[in-house]
Amino acid sequence: MLEILLDATVRAGTPILFATLGAIINERAGIINLGIEGLMLIGALSGFAATFASGSLLLGVLAAFVAAFIAGSIHALITVQLRGNQIVSGLALTMFGIGITALFGRGVVGQTIDGFERHAVPLLAQLPLVGKAFFNQDWLIYFSFLLVALIWFFFYRTRWGLELRTIGENPAAADACGIPVNRYRFLAVACGSGFVGIGGAYLSLASTPMWIENMTAGRGWIAVALVIFASWSSFRALFGAYLFGGITAMQLRFQAMGTTVSAHILQMLPYIFTIVVLVISTIRLQKGASQQPGNLGLPYDREDRK
């Protein structure tokens, strides 16, 4: 029973995990991206469409990354190059994503593909309790584990990561050291968006291998909130995403068991729970030193004095 619940937790948490990781990369560079929800949808549809057309899941994932990368580049262009308002641009990107996927998704509604299958990792899958949940999963989930570690490694063990973090904290300091601020920021926003797109593709290629209009159902917004809950750390993002996933899995079980509580209330639970945890954790953060990148949300203009 617990094993099944844990398994459902990981599967429900993974799309949010990808989205949160992507958003963390954005925000570490100092750019707020409220377009996550839209980017997930774009990823979900292009991933599904590419797999549907080619029959290859790998191509689907690549298509999701590339499409979200391109859509994220619009946000990057507006906020980095043109120094536009990041909130407005991000919200517009979400609207754009919802609209365009509804439009182009009509052609593939009701179609099905063969989604990702489980592959057990030898030995590890035999572990009691966690073995099945974490090591008898599909390739995308294994990739998400890898990504969590890679992002941490990138930020704290590579020169590029250090430079990117510096840009998010104080772009003028980075600029004075000869680091090309705008180029880094652009790439961070675009690549981060690409990972968000893979999060969307997980929904349409693994969770439910089909395209449903607006199938992200607000998960992108949860990711936006989780970034803060995770205090911009990829490992904490993993925890946050699985927390949301866990509650989702649990409420589905309750529904299946046929409780008298209204399904609508149960469906609210993951969202409420995540918000409550978020509030509590930010109160805690305010007491200690905040991890928020110092220049988050501010455009960088070399000729402006800060």
Partner 1 sequence: MPDLLQLTHIRKTFPGVIALDDVSFSIRAGEIHTLLGENGAGKSTLMNVLTGFYAPDSGGLQLDGQPVRFASPRDSLALGIGMVHQHFMLVPAHSVLENIMIALQGVPLLFSRRQQRARIEQTIEEFGLDLDLNAPVWKLSIGAQQWIELIKLLLRDCRLLILDEPTAVLTPQEAAKLFQVLLRLKQQGKCIIFISHKMREVMEISDRVTILKKGRSVTTLEKGEFDQKKLAGLMIGGDRIPEWQKSLPFSEEIVLEIENLSVRNDRGLADLDNFSLRLQKGEILGIAGNGQKALAEALTGLTRVESGRVLAAGEDITRSCARSSYIAGIAHIPEDRKAIGIVPDLSLDENLILKNFRAKCFRNGVFQSRSAIRDNAEEKIGQFAIKAGPPGSPVRLLSGGNIQKVIIARELSEQPAVLVALYPTRGLDIGSAEYVHKVIADGASNGMSTILISEDLDELYKICDRIAVIFRGRLIGYADPTSSSRAEIGLMMSGEVSA
Residues that bind ligand ATP (CB under 6 A): 303-305
Backbone phi, psi, residue 119, to 5°: -130, 115
Residue among 287 and 305 whose Cβ is closer to ligand ATP: 305
Q: Point out the residue whose Cβ comes nearest to ligand ATP.
A: 305
Instruction: State the Cα–Cα distance between residues 252 and 267, nearest whole angstrom.
Output: 8
| Between 117 and 304, CB nearer to ligand ATP | 304
Residue 79: which of 305, 303, 298 has the closest Cα?
Answer: 298
User: Bridge partners of 144?
Assistant: none
230 binds partner 1 (CB under 8 A): no
Is the Cβ of residue 111 or residue 158 nearer to partner 1 in the bound state?
A: 158
Cα–Cα distance for residue pair 286/305, rounded to 1 Å: 27
Nearest-angstrom CA–CA distance, 59 and 50: 6
Which tokens in the block code for residue 232? 């911009």
| 235 SS3 class | helix
Residue 176 interacting with partner 1 (CB under 8 A): yes
In this structure, what token pair is assigned to residue 289?
A: 């030193």
Q: Which is nearer to partner 1, 155 or 242 (CB)?
A: 155
State yes or no: residue 259 binds partner 1 (CB under 8 A).
Answer: no
Q: Which of 6, 71, 140, 179 forms a contact with partner 1 (CB under 8 A)?
A: 179
Tokens of 163: 């430079």
Residue whose CB is less far from partner 1, 2 or 289: 289
Q: Write down the least CB distance from residue 173 to ligand ATP, Å.
A: 16
Residues 277-306 that bind partner 1 (CB under 8 A): 289, 291, 294, 302-306
The three-state secondary structure class of 120 is: strand
Per the CB < 8 A criterion, the answer to whether 184 and 74 are in contact is: no
- Binding range to partner 1, per CB under 8 A, among 62-70, 106-114, 141-149, 174-182: 174-182
Among ligand ATP, partner 1, none, what does residue 3 contact (CB within 5–8 Å per kind)? none
Site string for partner 1, 131-170 (x = CB under 8 A): --------------------------xxxx-xx-xx--xx
CB of residue 33 to partner 1, shortest distance in Å: 21
Q: What is the distance of C-alpha 96 from the center of its chain?
A: 18
Contact (Cβ atoms closer than 8 angstroms) between residue 210 and residue 204: yes
Joined together, the tokens standing for residue 49 give: 């469409």
Residue choice 55, 99, 107, 180 for contact with partner 1 (CB under 8 A): 180
Is the Cβ–Cβ distance between 76 and 31 less than 8 Å?
A: yes
Give whichever of 159 and 264 is closer to partner 1, judged by the CB atom.
159
- Interface contacts to partner 1, rule CB under 8 A: 157-160, 162-163, 165-166, 169-170, 172-180, 289, 291, 294, 302-306
